[in-house]
Structure 1
């Protein structure tokens, strides 16, 4: 394949080839507690990181001169509302996924296809929607983003063997709270059946959704259900009361999901509480969009800037909420920049016109960084972001070195 042919397909460099990123200012591993690594290169072969910190003159099919950018792991959005394909009917939105990629998001998780037009609420209908949504994103990845779709919207009509059957079909996500249970705790056996079949289970939490027929889910419900993820506990509808959050942190092991569409004050309180209880490794981030809040391509990087600058947690640790923490909960290899891992990488610079002289300092003071490139599976999917502030320096791509 020639350079021009590759360029015309919308990405730079084949997954099976090699990529060298040089002249980095540092690497954020994505692991909680890790400081910025002062290394200048990342070498990628066949979509995986071969070496961090190697020679700057190594041979590669494609070379990126980072011009002093910092490398972050690609960001996870763990609460995204797809229908099927790149479409959300709540806001009549088409083509939003690539725009989120321009916000540094390289992996997106379905929070259930709750906005699917005429969403069925019967045993065979919900299974069909989950399988169809999963298949649609298996065969179509807008912007190259890793889409984890087909989140089963379970209900009282499901039977134990349904979860085992769906697992054989490749379905591994489930959402509780939208399926017609008379009371939330009626879902307890379904959560256990799903988890036994290998599902990652997320529960709605807090106040009632704008979707008709959805009841509030309290901390007692969450503790009884014991989902893998306590969804948008800072709101997205209405946040859990502070005493309920304290119980959730202390009496459960669920991931604590904070969303941009929720209550920022509640997010800051939850972050403080998690820090006091040595539970920051349970915090994960989502956008909870597109929804009534709208479409927010910069939702995750904006949340990182807010939790760092106002919450006083170093940006390198807050980044972990959207990278290694999320990857661990979702049982994914992405989310950490280290040898052998998938090469999902975001190159960031401080924004033009800002007072910070380093992109991590920009996040620490609450400014969104300039995104200079997004790489997924070793392929360059975007250079200068069309959504973030302008990076102070752009990266340069040199093909076929």
Structure 2
């Protein structure tokens, strides 16, 4: 399938160093972006579907790098079906598992945690709820795992490992296992902050520095933040990616956002939601954290969007997160909301408002065009102007 998006008012790349692309169009084919810029009439005519963006702003699809999936589009923590599909209506096109820790009756023995990770990875390999790509299957590090266990699951396609919920005596007991996971090419993540569920314990900066994972999950607290003196240690004494989450502590989110920019460490700053958890389901969680950073600090809104897109993609080594040739064709069109005080979506986010999600494309396929279920309508009439495929892309209303 070939898709053309035309009449864009602005294109954000997802790269905070060079946030804007020239031109007013995006062309995709077979799930990849083939051109960002000015499309010729022949390129537009060759498309199977043409979307008139009506002057809206294109950004890469948001990447929620801490989603608590289990199996299917269901969260037992909140007893809700369809939450992932609902997140797509908030502009989220990719979810990355925080491990399947909320699976009812989850196993805790080495064979069980390996089987759980492999099963989750396989179940979401081709399953796209609402069009969202979910990278599932993260082994939960438990006592009894040996190096060969990590080699085994890595060979089966599992590339994520999570520490923080295992039955260890102290957080330092994770150090060796994280080293094994890294040795076998896995991205390692660690719970950060106070206890999030009964049975878990606090993990602070000194623990993280000793473990040296790739990502400190919800470094701003999930939901309870570590002491403030830990943040400079994480920024200046480690190279760990620092993920802030909507379901965490807002004050420390803003504190860390300022700190990483002053330290010239913005590549390490990631945005996620850490949902669904006890904090609930947040289809607009990514948008809220972007607008909190853009309106309550002097962080450029383009940088906040990059922290929710390109920064996540770079740290996790995935092919989405950027509006660039060759990247996965995941595109979100943003507008200012009807009735708001701003007429531009970036100005709205700087003002503390959410933006209207006017269309979402994942894998080069429009998932809805014109209106989102989860945001107010936009000011501009985004629509499909030509479709040679028997498909209605208008999506559902509120």
Same structural fold, with TM-score higher than 0.5 when normalized by the shorter chain: yes
Alignment partner for residue 308 of structure 1, among 282, 294, 297? 294
What are structure 2's unaligned runs of at least 5 residues? 390-398
Distance 1:240 1:256 in 2: 13
User: Within 5 Å, which residues of 2 pair with 1:4-19?
Assistant: 17-19=1-3
Tell me the equivalent position of 1:227. 213
Q: Deviations over 1:369-394 (max 9, x none)?
A: 11110000110012211001211123
Distance 1:95 1:394 in 2: 27
Tell me the equivalent position of 1:129. 116
Relative to the length of structure 1, the TM-score reads 0.94
Distance 1:19 1:35 in 2: 23
Tell me the equivalent position of 2:194. 207
- The Cα shift of 1:56 comes to 5.0
Tell me the equivalent position of 1:10. none
Provide the secondary structure at the position in 1 that maps to 2:289: helix
User: Within 5 Å, which residues of 2 pair with 1:2-401?
Assistant: 17-57=1-41, 58=43, 59=45, 60-210=47-197, 212-383=198-369, 384-397=371-384, 398-400=386-388
Q: Any conservation in 2 of the 1:85–1:133 contact (CA below 8 Å)?
A: no
- The Cα shift of 1:301 comes to 1.0
Distance 1:49 1:132 in 2: 31
Distance 1:143 1:301 in 2: 18
Q: Any conservation in 2 of the 1:256–1:283 contact (CA below 8 Å)?
A: yes
Q: Deviations over 1:190-216 (max 9, x none)?
A: 000001111101100110122x22111
User: What is the number of equivalent residue pairs in this alignment?
Assistant: 384
- The Cα shift of 1:120 comes to 1.1
Q: Deviations over 1:310-332 (max 9, x none)?
A: 11111111101011100011101
Provide the secondary structure at the position in 1 that maps to 2:334: strand
Distance 1:366 1:221 in 2: 35
Q: Which moved more, 1:228-237 or 1:49-58?
A: 49-58
Distance 1:39 1:139 in 2: 33
Relative to the length of structure 2, the TM-score reads 0.94
Q: Deviations over 1:3-36 (max 9, x none)?
A: xxxxxxxxxxxxxx21111110010001013243
The alignment's C-alpha RMSD in Å is: 1.2
Q: Any conservation in 2 of the 1:91–1:291 contact (CA below 8 Å)?
A: yes
Q: Any conservation in 2 of the 1:22–1:56 contact (CA below 8 Å)?
A: no
Distance 2:300 2:22 in 1: 17
Q: Deviations over 1:337-382 (max 9, x none)?
A: 1122111000111111112121111111111111110000110012
Tell me the equivalent position of 1:3. none
Kindly report structure 1 stretches of 4+ aligned residues shifted beyond 4 Å.
Answer: none
